[in-house]
Amino acid sequence: MAAFEYSALNARGREEKGVLEADSVRQVRQILRDKGLTPLGVNPTRKKEASSGPNPLSELFKPSLSVSERALVTRQLATLIAAGLPVEEALLAVSKQSQKPATNSMLITVRSKVMEGFSLANALAEYPRAFPSLHRATVAAGESAGHLDLVLNRLADFTESQQESASRIKQALVYPVILFVLTVLILAGLLGYVVPDIVKVFAESEQALPWLTTAVIAASDFVVDYGLVIFVLAVVIVLGTNRILKVPSIRLTWHRWILGLPIAGKLSRGTNTAQFASTLSILSSSGVPLVDAMRIAGEVLSNTWLRRNVSEATVRVSEGSSLSKALEVSGYFPPMMLHMIASGESSGELDDMLERVARHQQQDAELLMSMLLSLFGPIMLIVMGGAVFTIVMAILLPIINLNQLVV
């Protein structure tokens, strides 16, 4: 059976859309008529994808899943498969549970491919943006080992931990971002509107102004005359930098330079090595061969220079080197991580040790991130308070001098 997307009119004349499984378009139309609906259009769910050909841009228009949605779908599948349901029935149940039409259509299409004889991992490959390579490789390992429910549960745990970490970072960023925006708006308002009105009063008095007042007036004039130009220029710089960093060679050099910075480099190394250890842990414990696990884990790294080093380490492991020695050559992985991996290799408990390494690296990365975010808020308060105090003093000083002259 194949999956078909349909649009139809109900008894009230309103259009309804959805997905149905059937052997043909004619059967779908008949099912709709039996439900009291008037069919408007019926198309196979993969028709658009097939007509797009090999164009890689078509991948951008395929539906995706958020981290929370992917974790929920994975957990529900694991629970149903552990209860003894066949994969196709578990997919059908999860698709009916979803309230989003796009997710429902996606799961119905995956179920159709499974019923055609494809493995679950290959069926998930229809939607690479929704189910990344890590997800598909882990599912494939679970299918080959015969422990799909256990692997899916472990994958759901991993996805949920990723979601929790991202959620904590977003929550911690709310306060600093609000402070930053308020600081910019307050300074722009004071320099653009308040200071120019007060300058007129000082100009009429024809007295010599203090250097602080002169400096603030100059800054105000600059903001009034070139504020819009600065804003447009900032947007152009951001967009241009984004575009330039898409060039592989430039992005590689940029990421290598970042790793050499004191704070940003430590944060980048921490988050990337934590991600690498977590991914390698779940793949290795799911039965994926170490070389394949390293290749997939390297692809999830955001820093391209580290990704290149992991790729070189993967080659060394495939040639017979140990994992710890192969990673040590790059010089970017923490000594504690390398010692723990070497201990796991010598004791034959690499899977357990990788899980400990992942947990340790994740805690270190989150600790550093939380420390930086906790410092950012007070720093922005000091900057905002200092800027407002400077402007207020620049306004008050001429007034005080004027009063002294009158007395």
Which range scores top for mean pLDDT: 19-23, 47-51, 54-58, 127-131?
Answer: 127-131
Looking from the CA of 119 toward its CB, the CA atoms found within 13 Å total 14
Maximum distance among all Cα pairs of the chain, rounded to whole angstroms: 98
- Say what the pLDDT of residue 237 is: 92
C-alpha to C-alpha distance for 149 and 84, rounded to whole angstroms: 10
For the 63-131 domain, the top CATH level (class) is: mainly alpha
Q: What are phi and psi of 261, to 5 degrees?
A: -75, 150
- Say what the pLDDT of residue 106 is: 85
- Say what the pLDDT of residue 53 is: 44
Asked if pLDDT for residue 236 goes beyond 90, the answer is yes
C-alpha to C-alpha distance for 239 and 330, rounded to whole angstroms: 32
Looking from the CA of 337 toward its CB, the CA atoms found within 13 Å total 29
Q: What is the arithmetic mean of pLDDT over 261-266?
A: 83
Asked if pLDDT for residue 51 goes beyond 60, the answer is no
- Say what the pLDDT of residue 138 is: 76
What is the pTM assigned to this prediction? 0.63
159-212 pLDDT, tens digit each: 787 777 777 777 777 877 888 888 788 877 877 777 777 766 666 666 677 788
109-147 pLDDT, tens digit each: 888 888 877 888 888 888 888 888 778 877 877 777 677
Asked if pLDDT for residue 267 goes beyond 70, the answer is yes
Asked if pLDDT for residue 10 goes beyond 90, the answer is no
pLDDT band per the 50, 70, 90 thresholds, residue 50: very low
Asked if pLDDT for residue 406 goes beyond 80, the answer is no
Q: What is the arithmetic mean of pLDDT over 15-32?
A: 74
On whether the CB atoms of residues 113 and 136 are closer than 8 A, the answer is no
- Minimum mean pLDDT range among 57-61, 265-269, 385-389: 57-61
Asked if pLDDT for residue 296 goes beyond 50, the answer is yes
pLDDT band per the 50, 70, 90 thresholds, residue 52: very low
- CA angle 203-205-209, nearest 5°? 70
CATH placement of domain 132-407: 1.20.81.30
Name the residue with higher pLDDT: 24 or 273: 273
What is the chain's Cα-based Rg?
30
55-103 pLDDT, tens digit each: 444 444 566 778 788 888 888 888 888 888 888 888 888 888 877 878 8
On whether the CB atoms of residues 72 and 95 are closer than 8 A, the answer is no
C-alpha to C-alpha distance for 342 and 320, rounded to whole angstroms: 15
As a whole number, the mean pLDDT across the chain is 79
Q: 5: which DSSP letter?
A: E
- Say what the pLDDT of residue 109 is: 84
